Structure 1
Amino acid sequence: MTSERSTISESLAQAIDQLETNPQRALTQAQEILRKDPGHPVARLVEGQALRRAGDPGVALRRMADLVRSQPGMPEAVWELAQAASEAGEHGQAIAALERLTRLQPMVARGWFLLARECRKAGRDDQAWRADLSGVRASSRDPALLNAAVAMNEARFADGEAILEARLSRSRDDPVATRLLGEINWRRGDMSAAMVLVERAVALAPGFDMARDFLIRLLLQNNRLPEALEQATVLTASPIRHPGHRLLMASVMVRLGHQEQAKAIYEDLLAQKADEPQLWQNLGHVQKTLGDQADAIHSYRQAVTYQPTMGEAWWSLANLKTVRLDDADIAAMEQALAVLERAGKPDGEDIFHIHFSLGKALEDRADYAASFRHYAQGNRLRRAMVRHDADEFAAEVAATAAVFTAGFISERDRGGCQAPDPIFIVGLPRSGSTLVEQILASHSQVEGTMELSEMMIIAGRLQSRVDEREFPDFQAMIDSLSAADCRRLGEEYIERTRAHRQTAKPLFVDKMPNNWQHVGLIRLILPNAKVIDARRHPISCCFSAWKQHFARGQAYSYDMVDIGRYYRDYMALMATFDLAAPGAVHRVIYEKMVKNTRGEITRMLAYLGLPFEEGCVTFWQNKRAVRTASSEQVRQPIFTDAVDHWHHFEEYLSPLIDTLGDAVDRYAA
C-alpha cells in the first residue's frame, strides 16, 4: 500500500511539472491516477488544470464544479473553477467561485484582482472597483512587496527592483508590484519607464486608486493635461470617497486654467471641514488668480490662523504686493520662526518662506536694513536646497549662441510649422513680462494663457539626446533635425498648448520667461511665431527677482552673483540672436513702457501686425485670470514706484552690481 501511494505521489509530481509545458501529457498522467484512485482530490485538480490548459475549459469547468462540491474547503479547486469558468465565458459562475475564494482566503490578492476582472466583464463595475481595492489591501501585507517598499524608501533601488522583477517573472499581471516598480523608476529619474509601468498597473486594476492617483501626478509632471483630466474624472468616481481625489482634480483644473471649477471644489471641501489650512491656502491661490483680492487675503489669513507656522501662506499673503503686513503680522511671524526653531526645523521650507515674508513686511515699513537681513537669510536657506551651476549654464548658453548663426537661420528659414499663433514673451522674471502679457491679452485677437512649459519640455527632450550621448554636442543634435522634424516639433507645440486656449482668438501668449534660452529653437520650429523680449534695468530686475521666492524653475535667483551672471548670459544670447536675425525679436524696455505707455504699446502692436485698440491702454480693466507674482499690480494702471526702488538697498548690493558690470549701461541698447 505504501509503495502504491509512493507511485501515485511520483506520478502526480510528474503531472504537475508537465502542466505548463505539456498539458496533454499531464492530463494523461492524472487520468491514469484516477483510474486507480477515482476520488483522489489532487489528481482531480490536476486533471481540471490540464484540461483548461489543453484548450478545453468547458470540460474543465464541469470537473472542477464536481470537485468543489465534494471538497468545499479546497481553495486551489475553487481558484481553478473560477479560471475555467472565466475562459468558458461563464462569468456568473466565475464570480460566484471567486466570491467564495475571497471568503476562504481574504488576504490572497490574486483572487480579488481576478474577481474584479470578472465583475467588469459582467458590467458590475462598482463591485469590480471594490474588489480591486480589496486586492490592494491584501497586497499591503505581502512580505515581498513590503521588503521592496522598504528598499525603495531607503533608496536601495536595485534591491527593490530585483524583488519586484522576480515577482513579476512569476506573475506578470500583479498590479501592485507593477506600480511599485514604476515608482522606483520614477525615483531614479526614468520618467518614461515609470509612466509605462504605472499605466499598466491601472490597466490591470482600474479600481487601484493609489495607482491612478500616481498616474495623474506623473501626467501633470509631463504636462499631459487632457489625459490628467480624464484620469482625475475617473478617480473622483471611486466608490471610496476621499477628499484627496477631489484635491487632485482641483490641481488639474488649476493647471488647465479652469480656476472657477477649482475654486468650487475648494469651497465645497471647506464647507465640510473648515479647519484645513492647506485648503484655505489653495483657495487663496485661485482667488488671487481670479483677481478676488479681498477673498484671497481672507483665505490666506484663515490658513495662518489654523497653522501659524505655515510659511507658504504667509508668503502668499506678502506676495500679493499690494498688501502691507502690520505689527501684529510681524509679531506672529517672528513667533512662528521661534516655534519652528525650537522644533528643530531651522532650515525647512516654512522658515525660508517666513524670512521672505518678513523681508517684504519690513521693506514696506522702510526698515531696509532689517528687511535685507531677512531676505538674505531666506535666500541663503533656499539656495542650499536647489542646484544651479553658473559655469555649466553659461557654457550651455554659449553653445546655443554658436549654433544659431545668421547663416544657419538663413539656411533653415523655410522649415518648421508655419502656424502664426504663438506670441512668446521672454526675459527674466520681474521684468515687466506680466504687464506686457496683460496689455496684449486686452486685444481682441490675442488670448492670454499663462507661463506654459511646452517649449521647455521640447527643448529638454532634445538636450537629453546630447546628455545621453546620442550626439556629441548640441550643434550635432540640432544639425540632425530635418525639415520634417522641425515641422513635427512645431506642430507638437501647437497641439500641446491647445489645452490652455479657452477662446477662438487667433493668437495666444506664452509667457514662460525662460524661453529666452530657446529663441533659436522657436525660430527653427515655429518661424512665424513672434518673440517679445521684456527687459528691465538689470539691478532693478535682478534685485526684484532675488527678493521674490519662486515656487519652481528659477534656481539661479537665490544668489546675487548667480543672478547677475544669469542676466549677462541672457543679454549675450539675445544680442547674438539680434545679429543673426535682425528684427525677429521685439524688445520692450520696462522703463520706456512706464514713461510712454501708449507709444510703446503702438510700437509693439505694429511688430505683431495688429491694429491699435484702446483696450490695450486700459489693460487693468481686463478681468482675466493672472497667476504670476505681479497679478495684483497689472490690475492697476502703470505706476512708477518700482522703477528705482532698488536704491533703498544699494549699499547691500555690491555683489550684484559688480557682477553685472557694464550690463547696467548696455541693457537698453
Structure 2
Amino acid sequence: MLLYSRCHDRMCMNATQSRIPEETQVQCPSQRVQLGYSMLRDGHTQDAVALGVDLVAAYPDEVHVLVFASETQFAAGALEEALVLTGRAVEASAGNAALKLRKAGLLIQMRRRQEALAVANDAADAAHALGDGQAVWQAASMIVNCNQPAAAIPRYQQAQVLLGDVPGLLYDLAVAQFFTGDFDAAEVNLDRMLALVPQAGHALYLRATLRRQRPDRHHVDDIARRIASGIQKPDWQAAAFYALAKELEDLGEDEKSFAALRKGARIKRATLQYDVSTERAAIDALCESYSTETMAALSSGSAADSPIFIVGMPRSGTTLVERMLVQTGNVQSAGEPLDLRQLVASHTQRVLETQAGLSASEASLWIDFDVMGRDYLQGVRGAAADRAVFIDKMPVNYLYCGLIRKALPNARIIHLSRDPLDSCYAVFKTLFFNAYHFSYDLDELAEYYIGYRRMMAHWHEVMPGEILDVRYEDLVTDASGETRRILEWCGLAHRAGAVSDPPVGTPAFVTASAAQVREPVHTRSVHNSRKHAERLATLVRRLQEAGIAVD
C-alpha cells in the first residue's frame, strides 16, 4: 500500500497548534524526518507540514526529505503540492521506480488518469529493467485503475515471468483477461491459482462466469468438493456457493442452483454492516430537495462536452447499450468510474463546511455545478482516451440525474429499465463483492428496488423529456431499432452494421457482465426469473404492495 493512503486515513484527525520542538533544529535530517512521521501518526498534521517545509528548504535534494514533505502535504489535503514534491523526489532519485509508482498513485487519486497511465508505464519499464516483479505488478494494477485492462495484461505477464505463479498475480491477470474477453487464458490462470489456493472462492466464481457451462464441460463436482472440504474465510465460502449456483443454473438445475444461491447470499450478508433504510432515506431526501421549482431555479454548468450516462439497476442491460454504442465507432467508454458520486460528496462537503445546518441533499443544491461539471470532465475524460463524447456506465448514477443535468447540460442520460422480477433476480444471483450490499437479502433488495423506482419516477417528473427510457425487453428483441433510437437521442450518426452480433476485436468491458455482453443478443433472460416464482414469492409480494406490477 502507498503511504499516501495511510496518511489519507489520518486526514480527519485534528491537527494541534503546538510549535515544532526546538530540538528538531539540531538533529540530523533523518532523525527529523522520523520525528515528522511520528507527528503525522499522532495527528499533528500542521506541525509536520511546517517541519517538511523547513527540511526541504535546508535539504532540497534529499530524497527522503522530499518524500516526507510530500506525505505531509497529502495529509493536509494539498495534493498539488504533494505532487510537485513527489516529482522532485523522482528526479532526485534518478527515476526510482517505487517513487514513480507513488507519483502514479497520487495522480490516480487526483483523477488525472492519462498522466497516471504514462507514469505507471514508465515505472513498469524501470522496475522490469531491475527485475522488480512486485513493482511491475503494482504498475499493472494502476493501469487497470486507469480503465486500460488490455494495456495492463502484458505488464502482469512481465511480473509473472519475474515472480512465477503467485496466486494474487494470477487472479489479477485473469480479471484483466476477463474484461478484455480472453476467457480461455483467464480460465488457465484461474486453474493455476486454484491449484495453489484450493479455497479461493473468488477465483471459483470468476471461473464460473467466464462462459456458459455445459453438461460435458463444467466444474460443479469440483466446486462441491471444495465446499465440502471446508472453506474457512466467509467471503470465499460465499463466493464458492455463488459459483456453484451459477454453474448449476447453466446446467438447468434450477432448484439446486437457488438453494446454493441462498446459502451464498446468507453468508455474504453476515459479513456486511449495512442498513438499507439509510439508502432509502437518501433517495427520499433527494426527491424532497429536487423539486420542479428547484430544478428550474438552479444555475447550470457551461461545459460543452456531451458525455453519455447509462443508468439504472445493475444487470438491467446497461452494458449491452454500452457495447452497442461502442460498436458504432462514434464513442469511447470510460467504464464505471466512481467520479460522479465522489464529486457530489466532496462538493457537498464544501458547502456543509460553511452551512453546517443543512442536510446533505439540501447542501447539494448549493453546489457550484459549473465547477463540478468541469471537475468531472477533467477526470473522467482521461479514462476515455480524452474523447469529448464518452460513456459513463456507472448504473448507480441514476441517483444524480438532476445533478447531471445541472452540472453537464449537454449530457445525455439513458435509463435502462427491466421487468421488475427479472431485474431483482439478476441482481440477487450476482456476487458484487464490495458493491450493492442490498443484493444479498431479498427483503432489502425489494426495499432498494422500490426506492430506485421512486427516484426515477421523480426525475421524470421534475425534468420531463430529459431522460431516454430503454426497456431491456425491447433492446433484445429489436436491437437495430433500439440502437437507432439511442443514437438519435445522443445526436450520433448511425452506422450500418449487425449490432446484435458479438463485438469485433477486443474492446474492454470493465463490468461483471463482461462475458455475457460478448454473446450475440438473445432473449433467453426475458422472464427467466419466473422459474423461481415460488422461491421469490416474498419479494413479489413486497413489490406488489408498493404498487409495482409483476406479471
TM-score (norm 1): 0.67
| 2:309–2:411 contact (8 Å) kept in structure 1 | yes
Q: Which residue of 2 aligns with 1:457?
A: 342
Aligned residue in 2 for 1:421: 306
> 1:197 deviation in Å?
6.4
Distance 2:333 2:501 in 1: 12
1:364 pairs, out of 212, 228, 250, with 250
Task: Name 1:498's counterpart in structure 2.
Answer: 381
RMSD: 4.0
Structure-1 residue corresponding to 2:542:
659
Other-structure match for 1:291: 181
Per-residue CA deviation, residues 625-665 of structure 1 (Å, 9 max, x unaligned), is: 21212222222222122122222333332342233235674
**% of aligned pairs identical?**
25
Amino acid at match of 1:280: L
- In 2: Cα distance, 1:312 partner to 1:214 partner: 28
CA–CA separation in structure 2 for the residues paired with 1:587 and 1:510:
16
Q: Which residue of 2 aligns with 1:642?
A: 525
Counterpart in the other structure of 2:171: 281
Q: Which residue of 2 aligns with 1:244?
A: 134
Q: 219, 224, 244: which is aligned to 1:329?
A: 219
Identify the residue that residue 285 of structure 2 maps to in structure 1: 399
Helix, strand or coil for the counterpart of 2:534? helix
Read off the aligned partner of 1:269 and give its amino acid letter.
Answer: A
Is 1:594 matched with 2:479?
Answer: no
Identify which range, 262-271 or 433-442, moves more after superposition. Answer: 262-271
Task: Note the residue ranges of structure 2 that are not aligned, 5 or more in a row.
Answer: 1-21
Alignment check: 8 A CA contact 2:147 2:383 kept = yes
Per the alignment, do residues 541 and 19 of structure 1 end up closer, same or farther by CA in structure 2, a change over 3 Å counting?
Answer: closer
What residue number does 1:631 align with? 514
Equivalent residue number for residue 153 of structure 2? 263
Aligned CA distance change for structure 1 residues 667 and 461 (closer, same or farther; 3 Å): farther
Opposite residue 479 of structure 2, the aligned amino acid is T
Task: For residue 259 of structure 1, report the CA deviation from its aligned partner.
Answer: 3.2
Within 5 Å, give how 1:228-627 maps onto structure 2.
Answer: 228-233=116-121, 235-236=123-124, 237=126, 241-324=131-214, 329-338=219-228, 341=231, 345-347=232-234, 349-412=235-298, 415-465=300-350, 470-471=355-356, 472-474=358-360, 476-481=362-367, 485-502=368-385, 507-615=389-497, 617-623=499-505, 624-627=507-510
* Structure 1 stretch displaced more, 425-434 or 585-594: 585-594
Q: For 1:19 and 1:644, locate their aligned partners in 2 and report how far apart those are by CA, in whole Å.
A: 74
Q: Which amino acid aligns with 1:637?
A: P
Name the residue aligned to 2:9: none
State the number of aligned residues. Answer: 519
Q: Deviations over 1:350-370 (max 9, x none)?
A: 222212112212222333343
1:537, distance to aligned residue in structure 2 (A) = 1.5
- The correspondence for 1:226, drawn from 114, 121, 130, is 114
Report the secondary structure of 1:392's partner residue: helix
Q: Secondary structure at the match of 1:586?
A: strand
Contact 1:462–1:477 (Cα < 8 Å) also in 2: no
Contact 1:425 1:513 in 2 (8 A): yes
Distance 1:379 1:395 in 2: 24
Structure 2 CA distance for aligned equivalents of residues 250 and 257 of structure 1: 11
1:271-298: CA deviation from partner (whole Å, max 9, x where unpaired): 3444223222222222222222222222
User: CA–CA distance in 2 between the matches of 1:270 and 1:442?
Assistant: 33
Separation (CA, whole Å) in 1 of partners of 2:36 and 2:221: 48
**Displacement of 1:435:** 0.6
Decide whether the 8 Å contact of 2:133 with 2:158 is kept in 1.
Answer: no
Q: How far apart are the structure 2 equivalents of 1:231 and 1:198?
A: 12
For 1:72, the equivalent position in structure 2 comes to none
1:478-526 per-position Cα deviation (integer Å, ceiling 9, x unaligned): 4434xxx32222222222122122376x522110101001101100111
Runs of 5+ unmatched residues, structure 1: 1-17, 22-48, 50-107, 111-138
Structure 2 letter corresponding to 1:354: A
For residues 164 and 486 of structure 1, what CA distance do their matches in structure 2 show? 35
Counterparts in 2 of 1:425 and 1:294: CA distance versus 1, 3 Å: same
Instruction: Indicate if the aligned counterparts of 1:454 and 1:496 stay in contact, CA closer than 8 A.
Output: yes
Contact kept in structure 2, 1:283 and 1:296, CA below 8 Å: yes
Shift of 1:619: 4.9
* Cα 1:241/1:634, change in 2 over 3 Å: same
CA distance in 2, matches of 1:489, 1:598: 36
* Partner SS state of residue 497, structure 2: helix
Task: Check whether the contact 1:425–1:433 (CA below 8 A) recurs between aligned residues.
Answer: yes
Displacement of 1:306: 3.0
Structure 1 residue 325: deviation in Å?
8.7
CA distance in 2, matches of 1:214, 1:325: 48
The Cα of 1:309 is off from its aligned counterpart by 2.0
Q: Deviations over 1:314-343 (max 9, x none)?
A: 1111122434597873343344345554xx
User: Aligned partners of 2:216, 2:78: CA distance in 1, in Å?
Assistant: 51
Tell me, in whole angstroms, the C-alpha distance in 2 between the residues paired with 1:318 and 1:616: 28
Distance verdict in 2 for CA 1:404–1:294, change over 3 Å? same
Answer 1 or 2: which has greater helix percent.
1
Q: How many angstroms apart in 2 are the aligned matches of 1:474 and 1:160?
A: 29
Deviations 1:172-192 (A, max 9, x none): 879769978998999xxx783
Residues 326 and 560 (structure 1), Cα distance of their counterparts in 2 relative to 1, 3 Å cut: farther
Deviation per CA, 1:383-408, whole angstroms, max 9, x where unpaired? 33444322222221122122322222
Contact kept in structure 2, 1:232 and 1:245, CA below 8 Å: no
Query: Aligned equivalents of 1:351 and 1:315: distance in 2?
Result: 10
For residues 314 and 223 of structure 1, what CA distance do their matches in structure 2 show? 33
Q: 2:427 aligns to what SS in structure 1?
A: helix
Secondary structure of 1:425's aligned partner = strand
Partner secondary structure for residue 661 of structure 1:
helix
Q: Give CA-to-partner distance per residue, 1:239-268, whole Å, 9 cap, x none.
A: 854212111221222233333331111222
2:256 counterpart letter in structure 1: A
Separation (CA, whole Å) in 1 of partners of 2:28 and 2:135: 24
Q: Give, as a single letter, the amino acid of the residue that structure 1 aligns with 2:165.
A: D
**Rg larger for:** 1
Distance 1:241 1:550 in 2: 35
Post-superposition CA distance 1:405-442 (Å, at most 9, x none): 222223346x3124242110001110010111111112
| Contact 2:500–2:521 under 8 Å retained in 1 | no
With over 3 angstroms needed to count, the CA separation of the structure-2 counterparts of 1:491 and 1:202, relative to structure 1, is closer
TM-score, normalisation: structure 2:
0.81
- How much does 1:227 deviate? 4.3
CA deviation after TM superposition for structure 1 residue 194, in Å: 8.7
- 1:522 counterpart letter in structure 2: I
Q: Which moved more, 1:542-551 or 1:254-263?
A: 254-263
How much has 1:533 moved relative to structure 2?
A: 0.4
Is the 8 Å Cα contact of residues 344 and 364 (structure 2) preserved in structure 1? no
* Distance (Å, rounded) in 2 between the aligned partners of 1:297 and 1:333: 15
241-250 vs 602-611, which moves further: 602-611
